[in-house]
Each structure stands twice: as structure tokens, then as C-alpha cells.
Chains A and B, each alone.
Chain A
Amino acid sequence: MSAASTAEPAFVAKTKTGRFTDFVDARVGGSGILREFGRKVFPDHWSFMFGEVALYSFVILLLSGTFLTFFFDPSMAETHYDGSYVPLKGVEMSVAYNSSLDISFDVRGGLFMRQVHHWAALLFVASIAVHMLRVFFTGAFRKPREMNWVVGGVLLILAMAAGFTGYSLPDDLLSGNGLRIIDGVIKSIPVIGTYISFFLFGGEFPGTAIIGRLYMLHILLVPALILLMIVLHLFMVVVHKHTQYPGPGRNDNNVVGYPLGPVYAAKAGGFFFIVFGVLALMAGFFTINPIWNYGPYDPSPVSAGTQPDWYIGFVDGALRLMPGTLGNWQVEQDWFGFVFSFNVLLPALVPAGILFTVMFMYPWIERWITKDDREHHVLDRPRNAPTRTAIGMAGFVWYCVMWAAAGSDLIATHFGVSLNDVTYWLRALFFIGPIIAFIVTKRVALALQRKDREIALHGRETGRIVRLPHGEFIEVHAPLDEYKRYKLVGFESPEVLPAVPNEHGVVTSKEKRRAFLSKWFFEDRVAPATPAELEAAHGHGHAAVEAPEEAKSLSH
């Protein structure tokens, strides 16, 4: 808005639409917002889209969930089923289960919406998990995005909470069994566990209150918190701008990609419908949580193959792996007149506690070790941060071992092995799996770095063997173009930072620990090829080696 333009007579639009948009623009400043956001640049890479998948899944969850609330009744009053599903006709059940069955069989489109909702829930948490893995392995959590990493972690926990509270609502046998496990976990908390359980269930399990309470959490509190966190998350994405993969012309001061409007906005909008379509197809063709199979909840029957939804699976798996005795020591102890049920308490809370604590703290741990206070907007390729990648894989394998343990019975029946052996193997892998994963990943990452270095210096192997006039055989290497070479050499490779004395000239023990970790982190290191090395590799008599692939003769 220059001074000249304000002096001009007031702008009057010629068309109706023009007048309308001008009216709105004059009041809410739409064009300014559009100009700002429309020019927002997003780098293009498939791995950047999982956050979007999570967001879209959440939108679909809100839409399908609202539909379900029209018909669901969270009452635990007793009733007799009188709907269309014959094998349950006349069976005594709760009103909640009855209304879930009615949604499935007697509400038009109800079963489809239930299945959309449940598949979307699974995809929601899965896409959050993949998104977080991408962020971790590319180092996108580094300054200035540490806080956003934490918000993302909170979103993961909230998504799990939303999933769990929803899982219990139909009040079928499977969800009741799951609720009973949670009740057991709560009761295993020393001293106060029983009180918390009675408070939550309004008396002895299962009581008549829990479904209504979980329902309120599921449709009110948890989604509101998720929405709040999404707003914070996206706000910070806008403030920080998006990260980008390394490439020619990309650095920590720019963002290379498409502007939001119009192409990227169209793509993102289209992608919403793709996610919706995929979920609709899954819901239409694949059944999920067939509650009619499980029957109404009754505390006495427990079905074989009772598992939680996948995102709670790792806790269930840890419970399955925990032995009842450690050597001669009974893990259930009676101390000071209180029962300490470590066989439940340890597996249910400790692995999840370690996993989430390390996850939340990791940006600060790495920042402390590297003393790196710079902003990072260019991502690391996972191989270029071997120790971080190895730590991530160790955690991932640890999680997967527990996750697999949640399906130990299915592993046993489907692969024809003994359930006991599956448990023993997974118990061993629980401890050695992460160590093996760490070592293997680090070696693979370093090997890939060496390969990159080799290719940057000597070009790509063409497989073409040439015999020189004096009888020597060589393989022709094709040099890389500048763009590809930049990707292989243009990365940071931190070195070990030895301990330094503080202002009093003292090397504190904390600094020593930091130095030790720094050594552990960066000791094994493959430096990127320097310009001098590249020059040397290209310069001294490698003419034949450097011959481009097109050159069919060796005349020069």
C-alpha cells in the first residue's frame, strides 16, 4: 500500500462477485492472509506428507465420530438385544453394546461409518508414528523445532488416549477384556492403585459408570486437547517454516519448493480426498472390530487372542513377556502390608516410561552432546548421522519386540511354533535386539557413507571393462553430475568435541560425561570428500577413469 494508491478514489468492483470479495477483504483482510500463506513455500518430498495424513485422518475421525454419537448410547443399563443380528437375539447386554450393534446392523450406513472411524483411528496413530520416525531420523527435531517435537510427542500420547477410550466404548467382550487389563495395571500401582481404580470405575470393576466416563473423555476432552495441540503444532510449522532435504542451492536460510497457492494447496486438498477414499475403501471391504463376534462384556469369559489395538500392543506385549518369578525371587511382594505387584507394574509402566522419556528428551540430549546451538533447516540424510540413526533403530527394534510379543499367540499358531519358545526368544530379543540393531545400523550407515564418498571421488561404476594398449584392464567410472555430487558431499559431519575446562579452569564431571558421549557419538566418522580431495581425484592422470560414459574411444 503505497501513499499514491491511498490517494486514488475508492476502488469499486465491477462484478457482483468482485463487490462481495472486496467487502470481505476490507473487513477481514483476506488478501493479506492469502498473500502471506499463498506464498508459503513447502518443499516437496513424499516423506513430508505423513503429518498431513495424520491431520486428514483426524478430520475424518471428527466427521465419522459425530455421526456415531447420533446413535450411540453410553449407558451400562441392562437390556435384551432385539435387533437384526440373530445369533445375539434375546441376549442380555448393556445399552451401550446394544446401541453399537444397532449402529452396525440397523442404522443405515452405520457399520460403514463405524469401520471408517476405526480404520481412521488406526491410520491416525500409524501416520503419527511414521511422521515421528521421519522427523527423528532426518534430525528435523533440532533447533528451532525442539518444542514442536514435544508437542508432536504429546499428540502421539493423546492419539493413543483417544484410541483407547474409544476402543472400550462398544462394551463388547474384547474391549471389556482390554479394560480389565488396564484396571489390573492401575491396581498394580503401589498403595494408591486400588483407590484410583475404584475412583475411575466408581466402585469395583466393571461397575456401571465407566463407559459413560470414557465416552465423555473420548468425545470431549481428548479431541479438544488434540485440536489444541494440532493448532500449536501447525502454528509452529508456519513460524519455523518447513525443513528441506539437502540439495544444491538449499541452505539453512532458504526454503526451496512450491508455494502453497495454488499448486500445493490443490495437491494438499486433493490428498485429503485420497486419504478419505483409501479409508472408505478399507471400511467398505474389510471388517474391523466385528463386535458381534465377541458378544456382550461379562467379566467371566476371556477370549483367546485378546489383544489391544496396535498402538497399545507394545504395552500388552511387555506384560506378556514379563516372567512371574525372577530366579527364586517372587516378583509379587508384600511389603509394609501393601502388595507390590511388580509382574504387572514393571512391564506396564517401565518400558513405555523409558520410551517416552528418551523420546521427549532426545533433542536436548543431542544438543548437549554436540554443543550445537545453530538453527537447522536442512535435514540430515539418516546415514550422515550414524549414531543418531543407530539409537533410533535400537529404540525402534525394542518397540517392535514388545509389539510382536502382543501377537505371540498368533505367531505360535500361524508359524507352527511353541508359544513358550516365542516368549523365550522375544524375552532375549528384548535385551539384545536393540544392541544388535544399534551395531548393525551404525555399521550400515558408515558403509553407506563410505560408498557415497567413493562415488563422489571416483564416479559411478559403469560395468564396462576396457583393455588399455599396454594390456591393463580397467573399469570405466562415469563421473557424477554436479547436482548428484553435491548430495554426496554437501553435509555436515560433526567431530568429537573433547572436554573443555569451564571459566574456573576446571573440567567438571558433567563435561567429562559429555565428552565421553561425544566420543561415543562421533568417534566413528566418515568425512565427506573435501574440494581438495575431489580436485585430486579428478586431476592426477585419471583421464581414462574419468571418461564419460558416452566416450566410446580412448583416443585422448
Chain B
Amino acid sequence: MKALSQKRRHPLAAIALLLMGLLLTGGLYAVATTVNEAKASTTTYSANDVEEGGKLFAANCATCHGMGASGSQDGPSLVGVGAAAVDFQVGTGRMPMQMNGPQALEKPVQFNDEQTHQLAAYVASLGAGPAIPEEHLLDEGGNAAEGGELFRTNCAMCHNAAAAGGALTRGKFAPALSDTSGKHIYEAMVTGPQNMPVFSDSNITPEGKRDIITFLKQIETSGSPGGADLGSLGPVAEGLFVWVAGLGVIIAFTIWLTSRTS
């Protein structure tokens, strides 16, 4: 200890202290983030999957994302995005992208399940990232009420309180969630596709995500108790309906009532 106390006024002491501090916080942060994201995938990918995935990637994705998924001017690097990102983007048909636009649009899926699995294996092999969620998180057995509260606080400002979707700036939009599978909803939360923010596990716990999926599936399957929901779009749709259908029928009646038999 004496040696240390003697050196405490050394010109480099401050720098050494700073370095130690940085290393400590950086190290803690690295640990914390890996706790969040690098949930080492429980799905194991065979070497064959990775190899086949690499071939598919080179043929279909590398034009934009670059050889080795290192990114290019036209597309971001995919190192570290994880299998979840691939499963979401490819599994919903958003990738491969049909054309440039404000955001990648959902379209018929281009790859079958096996090919998607192989692509995911390849990208996951490039660097640790969010994995495809485990089955027990997608069983829709969570607490719908809790999920509803989480949804209203974190998601409704873009996706609408009834998950009917909403507009973002410059042609971008948050899609309606009614036909989206629980797996894809989960993957979207952990990877933050398009303009969506990432909801890491420290932000919304895996159980919270499970609750959100439970809530969304429950409002989807329970239907609309009050009759046709007019797209769950709120007062604009209701106003349109009363002006067009409501007043339209009333006007038809007024014409009938005031018509003369001639």
C-alpha cells in the first residue's frame, strides 16, 4: 500500500485513475448489455445451416448488405443484429426489399421456413445479437391487463391504442398489429425494425413482452363487442360513417316521405 500512496502524486496518476474508471464502467456496461441482448441463442444452428445461409445471403442480400454482411451504401451492416432481426425481416416479407421507399413494406414472404432459418443461422454466426424468442414467451399466457398498460405506455403513440396503426413522418408508418404473429411482435420489440425503437429486456422484461403479446392477441380474438369496428380508427371513421351512411339513409327517407304519387 505504501508504494501506491507514494505514487499518488505521480503525473500519470490521474490518467491511470481515469483509465481504470473507464474500464470499469465500460466493462459493467458490456456485461449489462450482454445481459440484455446476447441471450446466447438456445436454438442451435448446424454448420450446414450457416453454410447454406451464407450462400443464400450472397445470392439475395449481399447486393445491398455487402459480402459478409458488412454493409454498403445501400444497406446497413448486419453483424450483430442477431437471428431475431432476420427472422422478422425475412419472415414478414419485408426483406429482400422490393424497392427503396420510406420504409420496407410487408409483402408475400420470399423464402420458406428452412431458408429463413438458414439465413438467420448465417447472420447469427457473424456476431452475437438477439435470438429468436423461445416458445414459452409466445404462449399468450401472460397477463393481458398488464400487457395493455405496457402497450398504452410504450406502443400506442405510434401503433394506436387499439393497435390499428398510425402515421409517422414522411411516408413512414407504424403498421396495424392485428395479423402479426406473436413471434414477429416479440422480434420487432427486441430488434427495432425500420423506425421502431428497440425495447431491450431491461426496458420491457421478457415477461412484459409476453404480456403485451397476450394483450394484443386477446383484443384481436375477442373481436369488437359493440358491432363492426369501422377499422378501429376512432372518431374520424365514426364521423365519416355518420355523414355518409347515417345521413345518407336519412336523406333517402326524407325523399321518400316528401315524394308525391304522380
Residues of A contacting B152 with CB < 8 Å?
Answer: 173, 295, 298, 301, 303
Query: B residues within 8 Å of A by Cβ?
Result: 102, 144-145, 147-149, 152-153, 156-162, 164-171, 173-174, 215, 218-219, 222, 224-230, 232-243, 245-247, 249-251, 253-255, 257-258, 260
CB of B166 within 8 A of CB of A409, answer yes
CB of A87 within 8 A of CB of B218, answer yes
Question: Of A122, A285, A304, A307, which one neighbours B174 at CB under 8 angstroms?
Answer: A304
Residues of B contacting A282 with CB < 8 Å?
Answer: 241-242, 245-246
Q: Is A544 an interface residue (CB 8 A)?
A: no
Q: Is A428 an interface residue (CB 8 A)?
A: no
Residues of A contacting B258 with CB < 8 Å?
Answer: 44-46, 48-49
Known contacts A274-B253, A288-B238, A310 near B167 by CB under 8 Å: no
Q: Cα distance A309–B240 when bound, in Å?
A: 10
Q: Is A493 an interface residue (CB 8 A)?
A: no
Q: Is A345 an interface residue (CB 8 A)?
A: no
Residues of B contacting A111 with CB < 8 Å?
Answer: 225-226
CB of B250 within 8 A of CB of A305, answer no
Write the A264-286 contact mask toward B (1 if CB under 8 angstroms, else 0). Answer: 00010011001100110011111
Question: Of A87, A130, A289, A294, which one neighbours B145 at CB under 8 angstroms?
Answer: A87
CB of A306 within 8 A of CB of B234, answer yes
CB of A90 within 8 A of CB of B145, answer yes
Identify which of residues 43-60 in chain A touch chain B, using a CB-to-CB cut-off of 8 Å: 44-50, 53
CB of B167 within 8 A of CB of A278, answer no
Indicate the size class of the contact surface on chain A.
Answer: 35 or more
CB of A278 within 8 A of CB of B166, answer no
CB of B148 within 8 A of CB of A287, answer no
Task: Please name 16 pairs of A and B residues whose Cβ atoms are closer than 8 Å in the assembled complex, sorted by A.
Answer: A46-B251, A46-B255, A87-B218, A91-B145, A111-B225, A111-B226, A119-B242, A278-B246, A285-B227, A294-B162, A295-B149, A295-B161, A303-B157, A313-B239, A412-B167, A420-B169
Residues of A contacting B228 with CB < 8 Å?
Answer: 285-287
Q: Is A330 an interface residue (CB 8 A)?
A: no
CB of A290 within 8 A of CB of B232, answer yes
In this complex, the member of B157, B166, B224 whose beta carbon has the largest number of chain A beta carbons within 10 angstroms is B166
CB of B230 within 8 A of CB of A122, answer no
In this complex, the member of A53, A115, A286 whose beta carbon has the largest number of chain B beta carbons within 10 angstroms is A286
In this complex, the member of A48, A130, A300, A409 whose beta carbon has the largest number of chain B beta carbons within 10 angstroms is A409
Q: Is A433 an interface residue (CB 8 A)?
A: no
Write the A205-231 contact mask toward B (1 if CB under 8 angstroms, else 0). Answer: 000000000000000000000000000
Question: Of A86, A130, A290, A310, which one neighbours B229 at CB under 8 angstroms?
Answer: A290
CB of A307 within 8 A of CB of B236, answer yes
Question: Of A301, A302, A418, which one neighbours B170 at CB under 8 angstroms?
Answer: A418
CB of B171 within 8 A of CB of A419, answer yes
Q: Cα distance A410–B167 when bound, in Å?
A: 7
CB of B148 within 8 A of CB of A417, answer no
CB of B247 within 8 A of CB of A304, answer no
Residues of B contacting A305 with CB < 8 Å?
Answer: 160, 164, 166, 233-234, 236
Known contacts A46-B258, A310-B239, A304 near B159 by CB under 8 Å: yes
Q: Is A64 an interface residue (CB 8 A)?
A: no
Q: Is A407 an interface residue (CB 8 A)?
A: yes
Question: Of B222, B233, B234, B246, which one neighbours A87 at CB under 8 angstroms?
Answer: B222
Write the A68-86 contact mask toward B (1 if CB under 8 angstroms, else 0). Answer: 0000000000000000001
Q: Cα distance A123–B238 when bound, in Å?
A: 11
Question: Of A115, A406, A416, A418, which one neighbours B226 at CB under 8 angstroms?
Answer: A115
CB of B144 within 8 A of CB of A419, answer no
Residues of A contacting B237 with CB < 8 Å?
Answer: 410
Query: Which residue of the partner chain B has the closest CB to A406?
Result: B236
CB of B144 within 8 A of CB of A278, answer no
Residues of B contacting A127 with CB < 8 Å?
Answer: 247, 250
Q: Which 7 A-B pairs have the closest CB atoms?
A: A304-B166, A310-B239, A287-B226, A409-B167, A303-B161, A418-B171, A293-B162
